[in-house]
Structure 1
């Protein structure tokens, strides 16, 4: 099977399984490092019908942890936007989901904001918060946006290069595309080779896992300038240790109060980043 990015047919099958579709294999390109699924079973209708949420009936406990992490993530993202852009920018969040990031952006006085999201049942959330929501990019004028964000979205897109080209058309000159996506070289996969994690992290809706090089390549093939690609660590050390000990998620709930603190998290992130093994990539690209 050809690699989406470089066209190579040289690949290996990765350890682990796709937790919601055991008939799908996980492949890794031996040339560019892109990790991809050998079958693509999702389409627009899947997302419109809330397919991703229906496939994972998490416990209240795990949902609460995910909501807490989402708030922390969005606060970090808003801090980055505030530090680098003025509050009068025209900002689009592509794949905006339940609107948590945009709601927080509005609370921080970013008023020229909108989202693109397929899921039908979230429309009322945007209406209640008076935030503009589009179903697709056709409703957005070319050369009208300053910033486009894609938080944990690009991995779900069948043709991410085509999408980035379309988003670039919507940007003003020197406009920015900000991407956050899971790192294919996560330490739990590449270093610790944790079986529980490798059987948990892959989902049929996540078609690609990028490393720094493969993410760089899709930006280059989309005719975008690469401002930076950084390694960041979303999950704390307690989560990693819990995976290693129990082969289960949510370690921060059980061990976080004992192990985690800001200084340790910063040191842990810096150590993983130095070897390219954080759980997440954070990138900014510019329209040329």
Structure 2
């Protein structure tokens, strides 16, 4: 498997890195990958990493459940049950900051559960999904509005009121090119919603190299609040609000405990998730610090 090494930081373009953490790919290959930290802006990235042409191999697993709808085991049953609840919360969130039900693009829509719910709520939806199987399921759910990627010619002239990336930005090889495209296709008063794991959360610190949300090598980047702001500033985008994703701390803690102890400690992982949420519950943007964070973003 060919790996590529990034010589320049995607956020600040500097060239000096330090090794931050070695993490195993617990889902597919069980190989170890290195997370490095930029010595200038502190951005965390998986480096070296599989090339864009070869990364698909690391998604070929029944355990990668965001691309599947089958509830085959306890973890997938928990994931799907929570997903159905959080989808309704996501739709509610979109409606809270939108004055009208206009056009929405969901990048990395998976099997289409979220955009189906948004469509039923009255939005005009478009989705992208690189995984063929997931894209086929999504297309069946919502129609023919699902494309392989944002470079689809059908999207060239389109602009959107809302663009969402639910746990997607950390997977994208061409980071700056994608953020530029997103800004260029966002209406002037539109909003971007980005949800990513938070490596500064209590559960991330506790589990360390066993923290499931590092998810190497599929997660190419590991955003803190500071480095997310630096990236968005670079593209003349501004964070208007940071919100918690309460359920992620429990799910991630359950997986992390399984990776660490070779078995799932339900009570201990529930307690870790609860503490993580309690420690990260402050209502101020600067202090929200849960396992995953939602960033609401606008043009400057």
Equivalent in 126, 136, 139 of residue 154 of structure 2: 139
Aligned length: 279
Q: Deviations along 1:147-197, whole A, 9 cap, x unmatched?
A: 10000000001122210111111122122111000112132232x244543
Change (3 A) 1:207 1:184: same
Please state how far the C-alpha of 1:247 moved relative to its aligned partner. 3.7
Asked if 1:99 corresponds to 2:112, the answer is: yes
Greater mean alpha carbon deviation, residues 217-226 or residues 91-100: 217-226
Q: Deviations along 1:253-287, whole A, 9 cap, x unmatched?
A: x449x97999x996454169875642112112213
Paired position in structure 2 for 1:25: 34
Q: TM-score, normalised on structure 1? A: 0.80
Paired position in structure 1 for 2:201: 186
Paired position in structure 2 for 1:61: 74
Please state how far the C-alpha of 1:206 moved relative to its aligned partner. 0.8
Paired position in structure 1 for 2:294: 282
Greater mean alpha carbon deviation, residues 13-22 or residues 73-82: 13-22
Paired position in structure 2 for 1:170: 185
Asked if 1:72 corresponds to 2:85, the answer is: yes
Runs of 4+ off more than 6 Å? 258-262
Q: Deviations along 1:49-76, whole A, 9 cap, x unmatched?
A: 8x51427477522211221232233222
Q: Deviations along 1:66-113, whole A, 9 cap, x unmatched?
A: 212322332221110121214531000001111011111123x22301
Paired position in structure 2 for 1:117: 129
Please state how far the C-alpha of 1:35 moved relative to its aligned partner. 1.5
Change (3 A) 1:68 1:155: same
Gaps of 5+ in 1: none
Change (3 A) 1:127 1:27: closer
Change (3 A) 1:261 1:206: closer
Higher relative contact order (CA 8 A, sep 6+): 1
Gaps of 5+ in 2: 1-6, 66-71
Change (3 A) 1:276 1:172: closer
Query: Quick one: distance in 2 between partners of 1:238 and 1:41?
Result: 26
Greater mean alpha carbon deviation, residues 53-62 or residues 10-19: 53-62
Please state how far the C-alpha of 1:235 moved relative to its aligned partner. 3.1
